Structure 1
């Protein structure tokens, strides 16, 4: 476990707003030496806190407007093979192993409702999937975020 201080939190905040910010810009915005910023970023990367610098892609302008969550119940002993089958489906965005009535929660996106139906058919045909329950996402009033939580972790 890594302990964060105010500089770490400030750097993570700046990067969450602009993942393309360079060390010079981060140093300027935090009033800290470039070497200090570089060392902090290296520390955060080595600790696994920074897990890459990927752009946030909005799928809607690409015509991918249908979002759904599939709760999957699995047959015993099939977790790895089901996850491997899900990984082969491009429309599957994310998979979480869960507790409760479902074993996996799958986030998926398609262009159309017909595409979602085809996706569901493909998912339930994976060997080891016993049952599925699909929930459509109508809107996303609060997008994925981590900064408010990170702000509470300052030592």
Structure 2
């Protein structure tokens, strides 16, 4: 990836609906260049999809929570693989500090979240977890 790819991705992160002509104009390159770069980034799986971003409060049918995960010993890869297989885990981050991993969870009800937490706690290699439910998002 070069500077043009980085700028292209930044524009798409801000608005994935921008057309090729608009992207080309903003980047100061030909439309063919943008098309070729997009195809290359998709083929190399740098870009793996385009999506819609919703304000968190607009998806009121779900409970969102953050779970800090402390991994036991050197079992991070095993824990990550298990958490990636958990349907309620919509994002998983490697962190430093108190928690080894931070998982964003989404569930349809408090009871469903409880079941998710039970499943996660059974994953071998997890030493400790702490979960906080998102109440309100400011930005």
- TM surpasses 0.5: yes
Range with greater deviation from structure 2 (101-110 or 25-34): 25-34
Give the TM-score of the pair, scaled to structure 1. 0.68
For 1:87 and 1:8, the matched residues in 2 are separated by 27
Aligned residue pairs total 136
TM, length-normalised to structure 2: 0.75
Give 2:17's aligned residue. Answer: 20
Question: What does the per-residue CA deviation read over 1:119-155, in whole Å, with 9 as the maximum and x for residues that have no partner?
Answer: 111111111111111111112222xxxxxxxxxxxxx
Match of 1:63 among 55, 61, 64: 61
Deviation at 1:3, TM superposition (A): 5.7
C-alpha displacement at 1:72, in angstroms?
1.0
Q: 1:23 to 1:85 in 2, by over 3 A?
A: same
Q: 1:54 aligns with which of 41, 50, 53?
A: 50
Q: Which structure is higher in RCO with an 8 Å CA cutoff and minimum separation 6?
A: 1
- Shift of the 30–79 alpha-carbon distance from structure 1 to 2, 3 Å rule, reads closer
